[in-house]
Amino acid sequence: MSGVTDGYEMVIGLEIHCQLKTRTKLFSAASANFGDAPNANTDAVCLGLPGALPVCNRLAIELATRASLGLECTVHPVSVFARKHYFYPDLPKGYQISQFDRPLATGGRVVVGTNADGTARVIGITRVHVEEDAGKSVHDRFPGFSAIDLNRAGTPLIEIVSEPDLRSSADAGAYVRAVKQILEYTEVSDANMEEGSLRVDVNISARPVGQDAFGTRTEIKNLNSISGVERSIEIEFARQCAVLRAGGEVEQRTMLWDGVRNEVRPARSKEGSHDYRYFPEPDLPPLVLDPSFIEAHRVALPELPAAKRARFASVYGLSASEIEQLTVTVELADRYEAVAAASGDAKRAANWVLGVLLASVNARGGALSAHPVSVARLGALIALEASGAVSNTAAKQVFALLEAEDVEPRLIAEREGLLQVSDDGALVAWIDEVIAEMPTEAARFLAGEKKLQGVLVGAVMKKSKGSADPKKVNQLLAGRIP
């Protein structure tokens, strides 16, 4: 939707919290596995017990560095961990180890599409910093009580803070999708929003159109879906506009999104950095990264989504829509390229992967990697169709059979009588039978109603069980018109 309503413009900045793909926590050897029994994955460090000292997880720093480089940030050789103080039941220490004035990385960018003039729509990234997660308060498990699960306490996170460059809910949704995709491509996180591996805080304010100064912002916390991000922005912006139109002032507050009631409601007054009483973490030295370490991770970056889309357009000549769909995940993009190579027909491979293959994966309810039709078999089937040996209809029948048996596609087509028939004698016989069975339609077609040609061709294809060559059937039918 538009980011302008009744003369007010929305200004949005997002904070994306991403859980890093490590086995253990950021400062201890406790497991970071998701879904275990409550409070099973804790130790003295997670619980903040006296004398417990943090030790930094090397893999977490490597993943954070890779993510920062994928987001085109400058990774700093020296960054500093800090204590961020606040008092929640799910934060046993009374503070969170994060980074403040000296973060791991700054100054990145993400492209989320194009502007009206065709230029890239770029959203700036202010910073990426490393921090530990807090635990979780559970309010719906025991009636009348709140429970605490500390399994998540100490889990390694990066927080990705955008510039206030977003001007609509659609912008915000596109930005989250783009960042999520980069995190998945760089394999730093599974970015599963349903499991809380990726959570979004929205900072939003309203200002009169044309005004440079920002309005007073509110922050909507812990959104775990892109639709929730977009809907909460629209609702909170409408609320702020109503307050301003009535002559009131927007209060700087932390808000909560209720997706069931479709409403944003206040939670507490919004803290400033002074409220957190930041100071350098005394139990951890500055994080020092050798420039060669940073450069090695830069060189080792995989092909990122934007580069892959550009290459697909150049090498395979696909449409923008096809490219967008095929590059949603690395797994799908890799599967497509393998099928294209096996079939020798990139365009036809795109149609099959996006159509028949994905429909089958969705219907079966499994993962793409678990689909029984191998790259080699699908490539051979597509090549068989491209050669004219089987029709598209027959090829789909072969594909369905391939899901149950690992056999050469041509052998299945021969066994099932699905090889395409191009022999004029056989085609003429089928055409004659259809004309005899559909005398009214045939008479109208022969009298000049060309639109009925498709009906007759369809009938021939049905009679031949998809084996008739539709191009030759069309030619032979057209030749019968006086």
Tokens of 346: 């990139």
**3-state SS, residue 154:** coil
Reduced to 3 DSSP states, what percent helix, strand and coil does the chain have, rounded to the nearest 5? 40, 25, 35
For residue 98, what pLDDT is reported? 97
Element (H, E) at 172: helix 169-185
> What pTM was estimated for this model as a whole?
0.88
* Cα 375 to Cα 335: distance, rounded to the nearest angstrom: 7
Using left for φ > 0, alpha for ψ between -120 and 50, and beta otherwise, residue 112 falls in alpha
Q: Alpha-carbon distance 205 to 250, whole Å?
A: 9
What is the per-residue pLDDT across 447-479, written as a single tens digit (0 to 9) for each? 888 888 899 989 998 888 777 888 889 889 888
| Degrees, nearest 5: CA angle 289-108-95 | 60
What's the pLDDT score for residue 276? 84
Strand-pair partners of 18: 158, 198
Question: For the chain, which ranges sit under pLDDT 50?
Answer: none
Distance CA 440, CA 198 (A): 63
Give me 248's structure tokens.
């009131």
Q: What is the pLDDT of residue 1?
A: 53
- The token pair at 138 is 């559970």
180 pairs with which residues across the strands? none
Q: Specify the amino acid at residue 29.
A: A
Q: How many CB atoms lie within 10 A of CB 10?
A: 27
pLDDT of residue 324: 95
The pLDDT value recorded for residue 138 is 87
Burial readout 365-390 (b: 16 or more C-beta within 10 A, e: otherwise): eeebeebebebebbbbbbbbbbeebb
| Whole-number pLDDT of residue 272 | 62
- Share the mean pLDDT of the chain: 93
